[in-house]
A and B are shown apart, each in its own frame.
Chain A
Amino acid sequence: MIDIKLPMSEAEARGLRMGDEVGLSGRMVTARDAGHKLMVEKKPKWLRPILEGSAIYHCGPVVAQVRGEYVFTAAGPTTSIREEPYQGQVIGDYGVRGVVGKGGMGKKTLQALQDHGAVYLHAIGGAAALLAQCVTRVESVYMLEEFGVPEAFWVIRVKDFPVVVTMDSTGASLHDSVLARSEEALRKQL
């Protein structure tokens, strides 16, 4: 397990390789469909300093309020491929070094990881209760009223958040290699 502190440098991001198991600690920001659309179409200035060097987390959490503070009670990853139209540009525009989600992403994102020095980090889909325990604090929330709980930008601090590098800055993608093997195995039984 490799420990990575967020925000991370370009060199750290470029040093990670497909298959590495990583524990993330530091600041992450959740963003899903409405958030990515906003980041590309409206380019909000306030987001850049929060996101620079940090990781975007594709997640729509279940959030409770305990003594006036927000607490994540369930916070696993959502399917990343929905952000494929936006992700590459978001990585470049906001200086994002990590994209955390599930299911992997496509060619445009893989290219952006190479161009800007970033990685795709696969969290365990459905492991919402465990991953919520890795969220130590909710720092702030943006666009909660406009987008609702799942789609808002939640700025969170995490500790030892477990992920696997499945796409890296050298252009390697575990998703592509598993797909190719599966395609071959399927052809054999048709």
Chain B
Amino acid sequence: MQPALLELIRRTSSDLPGDVDAALGRAFRREAPGSAARGAMRTILQNVAIARENSTPVCQDTGTNLHFVHAPVDLSEGAVHQAIVGATRKATRLGYLRPNVVDPVTGKNTGDNVGRSNPLLHYHQHKAKSLRVELMLKGGGCENVSTQYALPVNRLFAGRDLAGVRSCIVDSAHQAQGKGCSPGILGVGVGGDRMSSYVEAKHQLLRLLDDVNADPVLAKLERSCLRGINSLGIGPMGFGGKTTALGVKIGVVDRIPASYYVSIAYMCWACRRRTLVLRPNGSFTVE
């Protein structure tokens, strides 16, 4: 299991997914020739190619290692956890990951990316015989601009309806400016309690950029938010320009009557996510 998980980390850290790559290419072509925004997009595209070629991290902030694990019923959570910890330590030694886990009390770096709640696992059982692990590496710059709103929000004239949700989403991109490494991708969780809402927001970031929300109301809201954000003119790196976001992905969790949360997980352009499928015969693929 461990070699497959190590390959998952290597690919996720160094090889940006094709849909993100294509969206970055489109963003480059949209920006005005000679502008700082176009220069930024050119550098970004060159960087993606170099990282892929050399198997080095796309971004030095290899982030929080967030695993969504879908395991067959006969596989123990402990065994999966142990294999992920082993793969994480090895990936750190090989330079696929930066030592990135710090004790908040002593300020000491653990040196191997292993610590309390690190690497992070969301564990689910499924009926299939194979193990499926979705890995997301999310850096601190974009995590720090991620945010949560509780509707109503008076300063945005945002009420407890989808128009209010939209205002929060567009405002979050405005608040982030270039600090989350725009052009970003916004995963949004609507409803839930504070925690389930944020989990849904992060889960939305696993969707492909060119997919269409199965709920037509949310599909329309996603398109409207993306247009609204790109009209802000923040552009790549906040240099000013046409592409501030590459996508908006919205998911919903039922709420209780008193709470109406809108949680935004801002993902930087270096959207590092990959999925491992490990079959019972030991063969595996990383997509």
Contacts and interface: CB of A to CB of B under 8 A. Distances in A.
Interface of A: 19, 21, 34, 59-64, 73-76, 78-79, 81, 102-104, 122, 124-133, 147-151, 162, 164, 166, 174-175, 177-179, 181-183, 185-186, 189-190
* A-B CB proximity, top 7 nearest: A148-B109, A74-B60, A129-B51, A125-B181, A103-B179, A127-B47, A130-B47
Contact of B108 (A61, A148, A185): A148
B61 A102 contact: no
B50 A130 contact: yes
B25 interface: no
B268 to A, nearest CB: 6
Given A34-B107, A148-B111, A164-B239, A186 B174 contact: yes
Contact of A185 (B58, B100, B232): B232
30 contacts: A60-B61, A60-B98, A62-B56, A74-B57, A74-B59, A74-B60, A76-B61, A104-B238, A125-B268, A126-B58, A128-B47, A128-B51, A128-B57, A128-B58, A128-B61, A129-B54, A129-B56, A130-B47, A147-B109, A148-B111, A149-B99, A150-B109, A162-B43, A166-B239, A175-B177, A181-B232, A182-B174, A186-B171, A186-B232, A189-B170
B167 interface: yes
A129 B47 contact: yes
Given A60-B60, A130-B50, A178-B234, 20 more contacts: A62-B60, A74-B56, A74-B57, A76-B59, A104-B178, A122-B239, A125-B178, A126-B139, A127-B44, A128-B47, A133-B50, A149-B109, A174-B240, A175-B178, A175-B238, A178-B235, A178-B239, A181-B232, A182-B234, A190-B158
Interface of B: 36, 39-40, 43-44, 46-47, 50-51, 54, 56-62, 95, 97-100, 102, 107-109, 111, 139-141, 144, 156-158, 167, 170-171, 174, 177-179, 181, 228, 231-235, 237-240, 268-270
Contact of A103 (B102, B109, B177): B177
> Main secondary structure on chain B at its contact with chain A?
loop
Nearest to A152: B109
B238 A103 contact: yes
A59 B61 CA distance: 9
B98 A79 contact: no
A88 B73 CA distance: 57
Contacts of A21: 36, 39
Contacts of A177: 240
A133 B233 CA distance: 31
Interface centre among B43, B99, B156, B238 (most CB of A within 10 A): B238
Nearest to A183: B174
Nearest to A60: B60
B95 A179 contact: no
B155 to A, nearest CB: 9
